């Protein structure tokens, strides 16, 4: 029987680790965005991506499960916002032909993981 790893830090959370990978991939992807999106979609997409692991970390540092769950909900909101920004980029003439597969895959995983953790908190309260 495999022993469960003890979570001592937000850095031990797989959802945080995957969301960090997501941020990196978002930065790589948005680097290709056209110059006119520098302070528009590019900047906003990056800030939204960074918000996901940031809220997971902040929530994990709070003193109660309720606080942590609230920050996980904020992270989930940011993930949904990021998904919307990616959908917009996929429909713009200058960004529609980019390869979104890595970002899409990581984003789906992070959303599923956040939903799962939030649902476990709901079930235990």
The domain that holds 108 is classified in CATH as 1.20.1440.60
Residue 109 CA to residue 115 CA, distance in Å, equals: 10
Number of structural domains, the chain?
Answer: 1
- Count of beta carbons in the 10 Å neighbourhood of residue 49: 30
Decide if 2 is inside a domain: no
> What pLDDT is attached to residue 4?
60
Decide if 15 is inside a domain: yes
Decide if 4 is inside a domain: no
Three-class secondary structure of residue 72 per DSSP? helix
The whole domain housing 109 covers 10-124
Decide if 66 is inside a domain: yes
Residue 74 CA to residue 55 CA, distance in Å, equals: 7
Distance of CA 1 to the CA centre of its chain: 31
pLDDT class of 1 with cuts at 50, 70, 90: very low
Decide if 74 is inside a domain: yes
Decide if 3 is inside a domain: no
Entry pTM:
0.93
């Amino acid at each position: 029987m495999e022993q469960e790893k003890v979570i001592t830090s937000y850095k031990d959370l797989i959802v945080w680790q995957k969301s960090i990978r997501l941020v990196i991939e978002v930065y790589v992807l948005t680097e290709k965005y056209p110059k006119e999106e520098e302070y528009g979609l590019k900047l906003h997409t990056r800030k939204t991506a960074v918000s996901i692991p940031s809220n997971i970390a902040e929530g994990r540092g709070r003193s109660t499960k309720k606080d942590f769950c609230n920050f996980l909900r904020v992270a989930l909101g940011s993930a949904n916002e990021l998904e919307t920004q990616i959908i917009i980029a996929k429909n713009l003439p200058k960004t529609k032909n980019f390869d979104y597969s890595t970002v899409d895959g990581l984003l789906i995983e992070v959303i599923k993981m956040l939903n799962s953790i939030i649902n476990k908190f709901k079930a235990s309260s």
